[in-house]
Amino acid sequence: MWSWLFQRITAVLLIVMLAIHLIFTHILNIGELNYDNIAERLAHGGLIAVDIILLAAGIYHALNGLRMVLMDYWFTSRKRAMALTGILWVVGIAFMAYGTWALWPWIS
Amino acid sequence: MSGKPRETANVGAGLWKATGMWAWLLFRISGLILVFYLGAHIIVISTGQFDKLNDLMKMFDNPVLVLMDLALVVAVLYHALNGVRIILMDFGIGVHRHKILFWGAMAVVVVCFAVFAWVAFTFIVTGEGVTS
């Protein structure tokens, strides 16, 4: 129930944030993407919030989606499903930490 | 009385046949592609902390990788718009008209893709973005 609801909430967040992300990276800055170009945009505020929401919502949505697919095939019993959920939370938190570390110069 | 047979006994049944089945399968495949892309994306972008990002980003100016980015855009747009269709159906909107809803969503995918493709091909041909 909660995973279903959060999958919808993160979906809506991702549509909005990903639209902003793709307009900046693909449409407005194609061919000009480098560290300085990205850093300049992040320094202006707003987009750092977009990136953090993208990171959190993206990781949750991706791993919860992967969990649903895997539960249809191999992780069919309750015991296996619980183990899978635990593993994916660890993976998710690790990716969240790694991504946050990459953004840290602009967060702090 | 056989006024609206499609809206009574057959509710939802058509979702798992033909169009609905393909929509589901492509949704699942595009979702899995995006999961692995997101993982790779986080790892690649985080290399910015090691001053290796610029060399990697230059690689993405290669026409082949621009086209692969465009393929990724298709996966994103398909997954996003089919996701919108699913959320609408969660609210009971268009359940009986899910095929029309699906093709409507695909029309939005095509329009959005056209914008991204125009930018990508302009860059491949001229080496410049559309705003530069």
Q: In this predicted complex, what is the ipTM?
A: 0.88
Name the nearest CA neighbour of B53 among A86, A39, A56, A27.
Answer: A39
Compute the distance between CA of residue A93 and CA of residue B7 in angstroms, rounded to an integer: 45
**Around A35, how many Cα atoms within 13 Å sit in the side-chain half-sphere?**
15
Q: If you measure CA to CA, which chain A residue comes closest to B49?
A: A102
Compute the distance between CA of residue A38 and CA of residue A44 in angstroms, rounded to an integer: 10
The DSSP symbol for B79 reads: H
Q: If you measure CA to CA, which chain A residue comes closest to B118?
A: A27
pTM for the whole structure = 0.85
The full set of domains in chain B, from first to last, is 15-126 (1.20.1300.10)
A interface mutation test: which of B29, B49, B128 has the most A CBs within 10 A? B49
What stretches in chain B show pLDDT beneath 70?
1-17, 48-51, 132
A interface mutation test: which of B35, B37, B56 has the most A CBs within 10 A? B35
> Per-residue pLDDT tens for A56-72?
999 999 999 999 999 98
CB < 8 Å to B57, chain A = 33-35
Q: Answer whether A58 touches B (CB < 8 Å).
A: yes
CA B120, B29, A10, A96 torsion-angle sign: negative
Tell me the CATH architecture of domain A2-107.
Answer: Up-down Bundle (1.20)
